[in-house]
Amino acid sequence: SYVLTQPPSVSVAPGQTARITCGGNSIGSKSVHWYQQKPGQAPVLVVYDDSDRPSGIPKRFSGSNSGSTATLTINRVEGGDEADYYCQVWESSSDQGVFGGGTKLTVL
């Protein structure tokens, strides 16, 4: 089965840029989606199809995907961005959804 690898944690100071990676075999050939989950809340889609944002998601959130790594970038990080972030792809060969293990973003 397809495996997505994320760092367990990322820390960043307010106002700086956070980059959260998601590694997978030839992930650049897949569409990658990113979710934000705050404590006690349901996940929220923040980036879909590698780099598109749903309505209502700030432009500070962006994504890229190439080769074996996809990246979620959060510019001008705010305290309210502190959350767990998950990447996700669809494994077409088996018609399965696959999540990364999640990354806890801490705002220092």
Partner 1 sequence: EVQLVESGGGLVQPGRSLRLSCTGSGFTFGDYAMSWVRQAPGKGLEWIGFIRSKAYGGTREYAASVKGRFTISRDDSENIAYLRMNRLKTEDTAVYYCTRDRLQAFEIWGQGTVVTVSS
Structure tokens at 4: 């997505």
Residues forming a β-bridge with 98: 89
Residue 23 interacting with partner 1 (CB under 8 A) = no
With CA atoms as reference, report the closest residue to 26 among 8, 46, 2: 2
d(CA 91, CA 80): 32
The nearer residue to partner 1, 41 or 79, going by C-beta atoms, is 41
Could you say which residues in the range 27-56 bind partner 1, by CB under 8 A? Answer: 31, 33, 35, 37, 42-45, 48-49, 54
Q: Footprint of partner 1 on residues 52-91 (CB under 8 A)?
A: 54, 84, 86, 88-90
64 or 90: whose CB is closer to partner 1? 90
